[in-house]
């Protein structure tokens, strides 16, 4: 284990790959790993990409990686699949297209399921991102599907968050806006060859301008057609601008501090859920209560209130 | 409160509406409400509709409601917006188109945010669905966006789960499939005027056929174009078939029992997360630990391990 970590820190990609698998499957000494990489992670810049299925995130990220490679940056990419127990490579190979040269020299690509150990998604993904940072990648890109907790966890580890959407999302963009406008740093309307793109871009910009924000960064709305490589340069520029903004304003220190706190809270919450699940399956009195719920004798909400009286979370 | 419940049970829609608001805002005696409606909820049939943003769920549900009204059914529709603190009606009015006559006589429509009290989404939505059932609606339809926890909660209260997707989801359908194929009872590929619909429908059918299932129901894959009312009759038929299947096989009893158990577990988990959040903000020792995490002195994962040693969840 110590050998693996040392050779990873010396730049061995195979050791890196083995460590990612070990993190995903939960079979390694996390404390040892984290203590070895903790002070080596601050130089990487973390980009989170999220958006609904079908919004072209993977094509966009593939082209973005090729663009960033031209700037001589070394890039790690992690695709998070919240519904899969483990990642595997076949699917990802279909989704992301990066040149063979870049793939062998400058780019490291992995997909990852989220049911491994280490405190849920946040744990597994956060530790993997730290690992990539310690290896020395200039940029780590994390991509996930959906609008739920997974995305919030992605945001909690990212310096720049990119939200992709499509012209058709018009009728539901209100929902995206309200939930994510405070969190996304760059909005991308992809697939602009389809009708509705200027409508949705205007709606997003209106919403952005109507909101007060804690900091002075105004998220740009970028139009793209990723499969034709249109707009990718603008996305790359916007990332650089946001990075410069965070570094000049000192916002990066605040943001990373808040991110670490949010990761911590999410991990602790996951741990408490794991504890309660064990209790729900092992305690005889609780199993009896569950049977009454199943049979419809007692309402689930009333039973949950009752259980609240039975158990508690407290300091030792 | 008792008066409101009584007049709701006597069929007063205004009382129903007031009770939904009270549930959403968490300002009512839930025990009193639940005890009053607990034995009156079994006759309604619950349909959950989920799928990514832009897949046309709202248009589809609007037309499905109009179709079901022709069969003289009384229908309640609840749109769940996982990113909004509270629902409000303006947005929903734009999304769902139901005739004025149906709206005044046979259909009750509400949207709901999910940050109210009552144990997170599951609590608020589950109680509202019970309320609709007690009022006497034949069918309750619950719709939500996304692929995350919200959808799993929706599935936990539904007799029939419909998953909508679009032809373009091709490259990400693997993800949907793996996560949801066990849970969805009916698949709808909507917007079939766009390319890729037969490809995605075939891929779904292959996946369905390649899986062993616990029960004998084989989920149909229906092609639709909701904005032209194409395929809505097939969806309505498939719902009826699934309902008949569940009733004839006795599966409805098992399914509702499992659903109640899953609701219970989800509520208890939410309660434990609420407890831990309070502790994280109030305990001096933990606040100090969080400050060290924010400053980067201690890694979030190591801090979470440490906290695990400090606190525990146990029976009183």
Angle at B152 between CA B278 and CA B157, to 5 degrees: 100
Q: Look at A310 and B315 and tell me if their CB atoms are within 8 Å.
A: yes
* Residue B236, min C-alpha distance to chain A (Å): 24
Q: Which residues from A are below 8 Å from B151, CB to CB?
A: 148
Confidence (pLDDT) at A95: 58
Nearest to B313 among A30, A257, A272 (CB): A272
Angle at B312 between CA B309 and CA B315, to 5 degrees: 155
Average pLDDT, chain B: 82
Among A180, A187, A186, which Cα is nearest to A240's?
Answer: A186
Summarised one tens digit per residue, pLDDT across range B73-119 is 999 999 886 554 444 443 454 556 666 666 767 899 988 765 544 44
- Tokens 């609420």 locate to B274
Nearest to B148 among A82, A271, A316 (CB): A82
Any A CB within 8 A of B119 CB = yes
Per-residue tokens: B268: 């208890």
Confidence (pLDDT) at B117: 40
Among A161, A158, A128, A163, which Cα is nearest to A146's?
Answer: A163
Among B280, B305, B288, which Cα is nearest to A35's?
Answer: B305
* Residue B287, min C-alpha distance to chain A (Å): 10
Nearest to B179 among A34, A83, A294 (CB): A83
Q: Which residues from A are below 8 Å from B287, CB to CB?
A: none
Q: Look at B53 and A58 and tell me if their CB atoms are within 8 Å.
A: no
**Domain A36-249 grouped into CATH 3.40.50.300:** yes
Q: Is the pLDDT of residue B243 over 90?
A: yes
Q: Look at A260 and B296 and tell me if their CB atoms are within 8 Å.
A: yes
Nearest to B264 among A84, A300, A314 (CB): A300
**Chain B residue with minimal CA distance to A42?**
B296
What are the residue ranges of helices labelled H in chain B?
Answer: 2-9, 13-25, 30-37, 57-70, 90-95, 100-105, 120-135, 149-155, 173-180, 197-210, 232-249, 251-282, 284-294, 300-310
Per-residue tokens: A109: 């690509």
The domains of chain A are located at 36-249
Summarised one tens digit per residue, pLDDT across range B35-78 is 899 888 778 999 999 887 677 888 899 999 989 988 889 999 99
Q: Is the pLDDT of residue A1 over 60?
A: yes
Q: Is the pLDDT of residue A115 over 90?
A: no
**Chain B residue with minimal CA distance to A279?**
B314
* Residue B84, min C-alpha distance to chain A (Å): 7
Q: Look at A119 and B304 and tell me if their CB atoms are within 8 Å.
A: yes
Residues 223-242 of B with CB under 8 A from A: none
Q: Look at B313 and A276 and tell me if their CB atoms are within 8 Å.
A: yes
Select, from the ranges B24-33, B145-154, B171-180, the one with the highest average predicted confidence (pLDDT). B24-33
Q: Is the pLDDT of residue B169 over 90?
A: no
Average pLDDT, chain A: 82
Count of CA atoms in the C-beta half-sphere (13 A) of B72: 0
Q: What is the 3-state secondary structure (H, E, C) of chain A?
A: CHHHHHHHHCCCHHHHHHHHHHHHHCCCCHHHHHHHHHHHCCCCEEEEEEECCCCCHHHHHHHHHHHHHHCCCCEEEEEEECCCCCCCCHHHHHHCCCCHHHHHHCEEEEEEECCCCCCHHHHHHHHHHHHHHHHCCCEEEEEEECCCHHHHHHHCCCCEEEEEECHHHHHHHHHHHHHHCCCCCEEEECCCCCCCHHHHHHHHHHHHHHCCCCCCCCCCEEECEHHHCECHHHHHHHHHHHHHHHHHHCHHHHHHHHHHHHHHHHHHHHHHHHHHHHHHHHCHHHHHHHHHHHCCCCCHHHHHHHHHHHEEEEEC
Confidence (pLDDT) at A200: 83
pLDDT category at A77 given cuts 50, 70, 90 is very high
Select, from the ranges A44-53, A285-294, B179-188, the one with the highest average predicted confidence (pLDDT). A285-294
Between A12 and A206, whose confidence is greater?
A: A12
Summarised one tens digit per residue, pLDDT across range A279-309 is 899 888 899 999 999 998 998 888 988 887 7
Comparing A78-92, A234-248, B130-144, the range with the smallest average pLDDT is A78-92
* Residue A166, min C-alpha distance to chain B (Å): 8
| Residue of B155, B264, B265, B307 to mutate, testing the A interface (most A Cβ within 10 Å of its Cβ) | B264
Confidence (pLDDT) at A212: 65
Nearest to B267 among A35, A151, A300 (CB): A300
Q: Is the pLDDT of residue A93 over 60?
A: no
Summarised one tens digit per residue, pLDDT across range A229-287 is 999 999 999 999 999 999 999 889 999 999 999 989 988 888 888 888 888 998 888 99
Cβ atoms within 10 Å, residue A43: 10
Q: Which residues from B are below 8 Å from A285, CB to CB?
A: 315
Q: A235: which residues sit within 8 A by CB, 6+ positions away?
A: A60, A64, A162, A186, A188, A222, A224
**Chain centre to alpha carbon of residue A286:** 35
* Residue A169, min C-alpha distance to chain B (Å): 4
H or E element that contains B139: strand B139-145
Q: Which residues from B are below 8 Å from A94, CB to CB?
A: 171
Give, to the nearest 10 degrees, the angle between helix B30-37 and helix B13-25.
Answer: 140
CATH number of B37-251: 3.40.50.300
Comparing A158-167, B4-13, B93-102, B210-219, the range with the smallest average pLDDT is B93-102
Any B CB within 8 A of A82 CB = yes
- Alpha carbons A298 and A290: distance in angstroms, whole number: 9
Nearest to A315 among B146, B267, B310 (CB): B310
Q: Is the pLDDT of residue B181 over 90?
A: no
Per-residue tokens: B256: 């509702």
Q: Is the pLDDT of residue A91 over 50?
A: no
Confidence (pLDDT) at A119: 45
How many angstroms separate the first and last alpha carbons of chain A? 33
Summarised one tens digit per residue, pLDDT across range A188-214 is 999 998 888 888 888 888 878 877 666
Confidence (pLDDT) at A302: 87
Among B130, B90, B173, which Cα is nearest to B5's?
Answer: B130
Residues 165-204 of B with CB under 8 A from A: 165-166, 168-169, 171-176, 178-180, 191
Query: Quick check: A179 and A168 in contact, CB under 8 A?
Result: no
Comparing A40-44, A56-60, A83-87, B156-160, the range with the smallest average pLDDT is A83-87
Between A142 and A1, whose confidence is greater?
A: A142
Per-residue tokens: B315: 């029976």
Q: Is the pLDDT of residue A174 over 70?
A: no
| Residue of A155, A276, A300, A316 to mutate, testing the B interface (most B Cβ within 10 Å of its Cβ) | A300
Confidence (pLDDT) at B252: 92
Any B CB within 8 A of A304 CB = yes
Q: Give the mean pLDDT of A160-171.
A: 78
Any B CB within 8 A of A287 CB = no
Residues 86-115 of A with CB under 8 A from B: 91, 94-95
- Alpha carbons A146 and B82: distance in angstroms, whole number: 12
Query: Quick check: B47 and B239 in contact, CB under 8 A?
Result: yes
Q: B114: which residues sit within 8 A by CB, 6+ positions away?
A: B80, B81, B82, B84, B120, B121, B124, B125, B150
Any A CB within 8 A of B316 CB = yes
| Residue of A53, A172, A271 to mutate, testing the B interface (most B Cβ within 10 Å of its Cβ) | A53
- Alpha carbons A31 and B38: distance in angstroms, whole number: 49
pLDDT category at A107 given cuts 50, 70, 90 is very high
- Tokens 């989800």 locate to B266
Query: Quick check: B280 and A265 in contact, CB under 8 A?
Result: yes
Query: Quick check: B96 and B1 in contact, CB under 8 A?
Result: no
Confidence (pLDDT) at B12: 94
Among B43, B192, B190, B41, which Cα is nearest to B129's?
Answer: B41
């Amino acid at each position: 284990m110590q050998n693996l970590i040392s050779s990873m820190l010396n730049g061995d990609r195979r050791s890196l790959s083995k460590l990612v698998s070990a993190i995903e499957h939960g079979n390694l000494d996390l404390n040892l790993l984290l203590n070895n990489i903790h002070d080596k992670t601050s130089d990487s810049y973390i980009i989170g990409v999220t958006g609904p299925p079908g919004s072209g995130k993977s094509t966009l990220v593939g082209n973005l990686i090729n663009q960033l490679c031209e700037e001589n940056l070394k890039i790690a990419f992690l695709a998070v699949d919240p519904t899969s127990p483990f990642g595997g490579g076949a699917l990802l190979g279909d989704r992301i297209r990066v040149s063979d040269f870049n793939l062998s020299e400058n780019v490291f690509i992995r997909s990852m399921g989220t049911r491994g150990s280490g405190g849920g998604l946040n744990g597994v993904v956060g530790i993997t991102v730290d690992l990539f940072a310690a290896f020395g990648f200039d940029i780590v890109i994390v991509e996930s599907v959906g609008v739920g907790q997974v995305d919030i966890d992605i945001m909690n580890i990212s310096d720049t968050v990119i939200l992709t959407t499509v012209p058709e999302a018009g009728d539901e963009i209100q929902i995206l806006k309200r939930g994510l406008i405070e969190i996304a740093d760059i909005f991308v309307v992809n697939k602009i060859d389809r009708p509705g793109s200027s409508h949705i871009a205007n709606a997003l910009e209106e919403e952005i301008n109507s909101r007060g924000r804690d900091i002075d960064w105004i998220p740009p709305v970028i139009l793209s057609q990723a499969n034709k490589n249109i707009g990718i340069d603008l996305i790359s520029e916007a990332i650089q601008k946001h990075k410069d903004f965070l570094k000049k304003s000192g916002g990066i220190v605040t943001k990373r501090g808040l991110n670490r706190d949010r990761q911590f809270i999410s991990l602790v919450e996951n741990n408490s859920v794991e504890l309660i699940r064990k209790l729900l399956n092992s305690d005889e009195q609780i199993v009896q209560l569950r049977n009454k719920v199943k049979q419809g004798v007692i309402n689930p909400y009333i039973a949950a209130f009752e259980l609240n009286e039975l158990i508690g979370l407290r300091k030792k």
